[in-house]
């Protein structure tokens, strides 16, 4: 199985029947969609710095973030302050993740993955209303900022609900929760925040010691592929999901690149990894695995290949996607 370290990195740098449950909900109001658009645009318009806390399954993790924008670039540094140190530097969509304890650097394109507080796709896609009912809830304060609370109720059981706390003045997302009904599955929230302050460029660069030391660099992306270029296909996309990209990826512990298909419903993302089972690899263990919070994992075997499906969606959706992966040469003819 893909190692937990790699899964965590990909997430820092988704029942074998189609769900029958569906809520008959009204269309979202224009003003509610406008709040989401303002939230999607905010990271491109505002500098911010502070600390935020991630909470799930009784686990808490604190990170420090510095984010600076100008006319030509968007740069960011996120440093995890608890546990094993991890530092991510981003320049537009180019990302580098530094792991100081192992002296490793992983380079990556952000592409489809989004990270708190910048979690919506760009440009904002109003078709999100097809999968979620967005409702303007109450006003609440987060880090002394007045926030509009939005509730996103899934229109079926294929996805989780969400709740967003959006700064009224700037549109920046200050708190986000993934919901299972009224239960919080995971949550991100700023504990301290300064918006539109002056940010020195040196705060967004690796330290001198990091530059001088010898680090092993791994590029996680080998190549992006044209649609349909992989020999694999997801036959039954769940309602509301679409394919974002096909690619081949490098992993430090893998002798050959791994095939990767990324899917999204406009908010939640799911990744499918396909790799051949080699003679010297441990015997794969098929079944369900829960990583943490909203992330679920499903592993199955197909001939001499292991298919790992990872996503921030319910188990039934993960299994539906994972079980529908098939080799293209086995697709039934029309």
Tens digits of pLDDT across the chain (334 residues): 445 445 445 444 433 333 335 568 999 999 999 999 999 999 999 999 999 999 999 999 999 999 999 988 999 999 999 989 999 999 998 999 999 999 999 998 876 667 999 999 878 888 899 999 999 999 999 999 999 999 999 999 999 999 999 999 999 999 999 999 999 999 999 999 999 999 999 999 988 777 777 898 888 876 777 777 788 999 989 999 999 889 888 776 677 889 999 999 999 999 999 998 877 766 667 787 767 799 999 999 998 899 999 999 999 999 999 999 999 877 665 5
Q: Which long-range contacts (CB under 8 A, 24 or more apart) does 173-176 make?
A: 173/39, 173/42, 173/116, 173/117, 173/118, 173/119, 174/117, 174/142, 174/143, 174/145, 174/147, 175/142, 175/147, 176/116, 176/117, 176/119
For residue 104, with 0-12 CB atoms within 10 Å meaning exposed, 13-18 middle and 19 or more buried, which class applies? middle
Residue 217 lies in a domain: no
The tally of domains found in the chain comes to 2
Same domain, 192 and 235: no
pLDDT at 331: 65
Residue 189 lies in a domain: yes
Same domain, 286 and 154: no
Same domain, 181 and 314: no
Same domain, 207 and 232: no
Residue 97 lies in a domain: yes
Residue 155 lies in a domain: yes
Tell me the CATH number at 161: 2.50.20.10
Same domain, 126 and 22: yes
Same domain, 188 and 276: no
Same domain, 316 and 252: yes
Same domain, 158 and 307: no
Same domain, 68 and 161: yes
Same domain, 109 and 156: yes
pLDDT at 121: 84
Same domain, 146 and 267: no
Same domain, 136 and 282: no
Residue 334 lies in a domain: no
Domain range for residue 8?
4-13+15-212
pLDDT at 15: 32
pLDDT at 108: 87
Residue 72 lies in a domain: yes
pLDDT at 332: 65
Mode of pairing for the β-strands spanning 216-219 and 104-109: parallel
Q: What is the pTM of this model?
A: 0.88
């Amino acid at each position: 199985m893909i190692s937990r370290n790699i899964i965590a990195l990909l997430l820092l740098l988704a029942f074998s029947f189609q769900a029958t449950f569906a809520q008959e909900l009204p269309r979202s109001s224009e003003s509610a969609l406008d709040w989401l658009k303002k939230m999607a645009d905010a990271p491109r318009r505002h500098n911010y710095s502070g600390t935020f806390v991630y909470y799930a399954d009784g686990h808490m993790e604190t990170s420090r973030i510095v984010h600076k924008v100008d006319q030509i670039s968007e740069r960011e540094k996120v440093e995890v302050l608890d546990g094993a140190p991890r530092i991510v530097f981003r320049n537009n969509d180019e990302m580098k993740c530094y792991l100081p304890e192992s002296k490793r650097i992983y380079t990556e394109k952000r592409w489809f993955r989004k990270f708190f507080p910048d979690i919506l796709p760009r440009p904002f896609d109003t078709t999100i209303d097809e999968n979620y009912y967005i409702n303007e809830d109450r006003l609440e304060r987060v880090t002394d900022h007045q926030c509009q609370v939005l509730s996103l109720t899934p229109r079926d059981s294929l996805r989780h609900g969400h709740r967003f706390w959006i700064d009224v003045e700037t549109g920046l997302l200050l708190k986000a929760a993934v919901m299972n009904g009224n239960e919080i599955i995971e949550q991100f929230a700023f504990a301290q925040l300064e918006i539109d302050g002056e940010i020195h460029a040196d705060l967004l660069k690796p330290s001198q010691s990091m530059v001088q030391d010898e680090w092993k660099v791994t590029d996680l992306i080998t190549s992006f592929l044209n649609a349909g270029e992989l020999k694999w296909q997801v036959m039954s996309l769940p309602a509301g999901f679409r394919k974002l990209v096909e690619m081949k990826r490098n992993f430090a512990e893998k002798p050959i690149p791994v095939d990767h298909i990324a899917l999204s419903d406009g908010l939640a993302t799911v990744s499918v990894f396909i790799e051949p089972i080699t003679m010297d690899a441990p015997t794969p263990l098929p079944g369900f695995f829960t990583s943490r919070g909203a992330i679920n994992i499903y592993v199955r075997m197909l001939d001499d290949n292991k298919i790992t499906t990872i996503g921030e969606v319910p188990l039934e959706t993960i299994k539906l996607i994972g079980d529908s992966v098939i080799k293209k040469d086995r697709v039934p003819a029309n």
